[in-house]
Amino acid sequence: MSRSQLNVRVSEELERAIDEKRIELRGAFGSIPSRSDVLRLALETYLKIKLRESDEDGRRKVGPAKRSRRKS
């Protein structure tokens, strides 16, 4: 499956709001979600669509903590 990357410029105010939402979602995610995760959630809601798990940010599944556990 092909994936596209979008680069979005946001104001400092919007960046702060995204970061506040990241902290708020920490409990539901078990860790602080990425800014990309928050934007995907917002787009799902706004566009009234449900993204497949394959559309999620794969880095979260293979990040440093996961890699270090695999080496052990």
Question: Beta-carbon neighbour count of residue 33 at 10 Å?
Answer: 22
Give a yes or no: residue 19 inside a domain. yes
Instruction: Indicate whether 70 pLDDT > 70.
Output: no
Q: How many structural domains compose the chain?
A: 1
Give a yes or no: residue 39 inside a domain. yes
pLDDT score of 37 = 93
Give a yes or no: residue 27 inside a domain. yes
Residue 50 sits in which domain range? 12-71
DSSP letters of 3-60? ---------HHHHHHHHHHHHHTHHHHSSPPPHHHHHHHHHHHHHT----GGGS-GGG
Give a yes or no: residue 65 inside a domain. yes
Smallest CA-to-CA distance from 60 within 14, 22, 6, 13 is with: 22
Instruction: Indicate whether 62 pLDDT > 90.
Output: no
Q: Report pLDDT digits (tens) over 14-35.
A: 999 999 999 999 999 999 999 9
Give a yes or no: residue 50 inside a domain. yes
Give a yes or no: residue 18 inside a domain. yes
Q: Indicate the pTM of the whole model.
A: 0.69
Give a yes or no: residue 2 inside a domain. no
Q: Report pLDDT digits (tens) over 29-56.
A: 999 999 999 999 999 999 999 887 656 6
